[in-house]
């Protein structure tokens, strides 16, 4: 069974610091990995999708890496801003049944 873990569960940093969010998964049989952002009381918004054959994806201040063999992904957010405060979730698309397995998320607070 695919287990997805995100540690730490919560993180607080001063504005301007770079954020490093971790995601680990137990089964490397995946099609892709997605990072989502969730604001309080809202739905999930996709940030980045990395295909299993890729090593990283970038969008603006966001960069996500994927090491499928070791079961790890990292989301980097450069020069954090208070507007980056949210919960970040990762999810893997399992290649055996095409279903998503989600981590519980990391809640980020960026202090002004």
Partner 1 sequence: NAGVTQTPKFQVLKTGQSMTLQCAQDMNHEYMSWYRQDPGMGLRLIHYSVGAGITDQGEVPNGYNVSRSTTEDFPLRLLSAAPSQTSVYFCASRMGIAGLTDTQYFGPGTRLTVL
Of 14, 83, 98, 112, which lies in the binding site for partner 1, with binding defined by CB under 8 A? 98
Q: Judge whether 47 and 38 are in contact, CB under 8 Å.
A: no
- Work out how close the CB of 39 gets to partner 1 at its nearest, in angstroms, rounded to a whole number: 10
Tell me whether residue 47 or residue 110 sits nearer to partner 1 (CB atom).
47
26 counts as binding partner 1 under rule CB under 8 A: no
Select the span of 10-18, 32-40, 63-71, 75-83 touching partner 1 (CB under 8 A). Answer: 32-40
Of 19, 21, 33, 34, which lies in the binding site for partner 1, with binding defined by CB under 8 A? 34
Cβ contacts of 33 within 8 Å, gap of 6 or more: 23, 25, 49, 50, 52, 64, 66, 73, 90, 91, 92, 93
Select the span of 10-18, 62-70, 72-80, 99-107 touching partner 1 (CB under 8 A). Answer: 99-107
- Work out how close the CB of 3 gets to partner 1 at its nearest, in angstroms, rounded to a whole number: 9
User: Which helix (H) or strand (E) covers residue 94, if one does?
Assistant: strand 86-94
99 counts as binding partner 1 under rule CB under 8 A: yes
Joined together, the tokens standing for residue 60 give 């603006």
62: closest CA among 50, 46, 48, 72? Answer: 48
């Amino acid at each position: 069974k695919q287990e997805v873990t995100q540690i730490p569960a919560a993180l607080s940093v001063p504005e301007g610091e770079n954020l490093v969010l971790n995601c680990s998964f137990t089964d490397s049989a995946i099609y892709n990995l997605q990072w989502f952002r969730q604001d309080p009381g809202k739905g999930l918004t996709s940030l980045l999708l990395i295909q299993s054959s890729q090593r990283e994806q970038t969008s603006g201040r966001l960069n996500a890496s994927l090491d499928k063999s070791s079961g790890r992904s990292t989301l980097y957010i450069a020069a954090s801003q208070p507007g980056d405060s949210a919960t970040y979730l990762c999810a893997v698309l399992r290649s055996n049944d095409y279903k998503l397995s989600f981590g519980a998320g990391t809640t980020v607070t960026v202090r002004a």
